[in-house]
Copies of this chain bind each other. A is one copy, B any other.
Amino acid sequence: MLIALDAMGGDHAPEEPCKGAILACREKPHLSIALVGDSEKIKPLVEKAERNVRSRLSIVHTDEVINGSDSPSLSIRRKKNSSLVVGFEMVRSKEADGIVSSGNTGAIAAGAVLLLGRIPGIDRPGLGAVLPVLNRSTLLMDVGGTVRCKPINLLQFAQMGSIYMKLFQNVENPSVRLLSNGEEMTKGDDVISAARGLIEASCLNFQGYAEGKDIPNGISDVVICDGFTGNVIIKFGEGLGELLKSQFKEEYIHHTLPKIGLFFMWPAMKRVMGRFDWEKYGGSPVLGVNGSVVKVHGRSKANAIAHAITGAANFIERNGVDRIREEIARGVQNGND
């Protein structure tokens, strides 16, 4: 199995993607990775890897990069020799089995649609994020692929998210909720209200609206929202975590008691933090396109990138794209959308 890795995407490229590729190859002995990017920069980063890893790492040279500030669809159309576009082309031509990138989220979603194409019946792809919450994992979808949605998009996110949780988190009949500004039927806007009707009429295990506080409380296996809302939420959570960390750090620096306390609490803190380490959850899958595409957070370091690569490999091994294609086709036949 060959996975194309956008070695130039993200804040710590190409160093961290290259380290991540080495870690992933160590973990999965049958995995090969094509590092797509500036070969002069990549070569010194991988040449010291042990032989049985190095032999599974190839370099595909490109001399353009899509930046965070580039317009998603324009950059995909114009930067033909960028690491991201070349990686997608490798998946389209079946040279690679999937692609992983920590680059521009919009460009990854746009590239997935423009270069790989949508699965028949799917209007817009969805970018999901698996969040570790109370007593379960919740797939929040969309988190930035489709900024604003039509009701049909939200229904299809619910369908794809449900399939993803069934197949890849082994959840029997995943529960689905739609994010709104309250639990009551009167909440939401016109789009959310229409989407509620569509999802209720489907055969999904739909349980109504979820509020913001319900996500961390693990109210359901899948929570659906538009990409704007999902993006703001996961970034807000990230910012809150950093704020808390920095506040406690300041306490340790200026006071002695918390230092002693930390000594005793460290194992408990490690256990709790380990439970909520979002980096372990294999990146964010782009669902609804003809290929295995996984987006990693732009600030990711090697470990998170390695988890995303192995997550993509699992998705490919279990024929993830085919399973979604079949289920969506069945749903369309049954008149579920």
- Min C-beta distance of A59 to chain B, whole Å: 30
Docked complex Cα distance between A106 and B237 (Å): 26
Tell whether A265 pairs with B258 under 8 Å between CB atoms, given A233-B232, A236-B215: yes
| Chain A interface, >50% SS class | helix
Tell whether A268 pairs with B261 under 8 Å between CB atoms, given A212-B234, A242-B213: yes
- Min C-beta distance of A77 to chain B, whole Å: 14
Residue of B nearest to A192 (CB): B228
Of B181, B212, B251, B266, the residue contacting A271 (CB under 8 A) is: B251
Instruction: Kindly report how many copies of this chain are found in the complex they form together.
Output: 2
Docked complex Cα distance between A236 and B247 (Å): 20
Q: Mark A64-100, 1 if CB is under 8 A from B, else 0.
A: 0000111110000000000000000000000000000
| Interchain CB contact under 8 A, A231 and B181 | yes
| Interchain CB contact under 8 A, B134 and A243 | yes
| Interchain CB contact under 8 A, B236 and A216 | yes
Tell whether A189 pairs with B228 under 8 Å between CB atoms, given A68-B182, A212-B235: yes
What residues of B have a CB within 8 angstroms of the CB of A260 in the complex? 264
Of B72, B182, B236, B258, the residue contacting A264 (CB under 8 A) is: B258
Docked complex Cα distance between A148 and B148 (Å): 12
| Interchain CB contact under 8 A, A216 and B242 | yes
What residues of B have a CB within 8 angstroms of the CB of A268 in the complex? 248, 251-252, 255, 257-258, 261
Interface residue? A214 (CB, 8 A)? yes
Of A72, A239, A244, A255, most B-chain CB atoms within 10 Å: A239
Docked complex Cα distance between A264 and B257 (Å): 5
What residues of B have a CB within 8 angstroms of the CB of A261 in the complex? 261-266, 268
Docked complex Cα distance between A69 and B106 (Å): 37
Docked complex Cα distance between A240 and B244 (Å): 12
Residue of B nearest to A132 (CB): B243
Q: Mark A164-196, 1 if CB is under 8 A from B, else 0.
A: 000000000000000111101110110000000
What residues of B have a CB within 8 angstroms of the CB of A68 in the complex? 182, 184
Docked complex Cα distance between A141 and B223 (Å): 24
Interface residue? A275 (CB, 8 A)? yes
Interface residue? A11 (CB, 8 A)? no
Known A-B contacts: A229-B232, A261-B261, A261-B264. Give 4 more (CB < 8 A).
A72-B186, A188-B228, A189-B228, A258-B265
A-B contact pairs, 23 of them (CB 8 A): A71-B186, A106-B182, A134-B243, A147-B188, A147-B189, A179-B232, A181-B227, A189-B228, A212-B233, A212-B234, A212-B236, A212-B238, A213-B235, A213-B242, A216-B236, A233-B233, A236-B237, A247-B272, A251-B271, A251-B272, A258-B264, A262-B265, A264-B264
What 3 pairs between A and B have smallest CB-CB spacing?
A212-B235, A261-B265, A261-B264
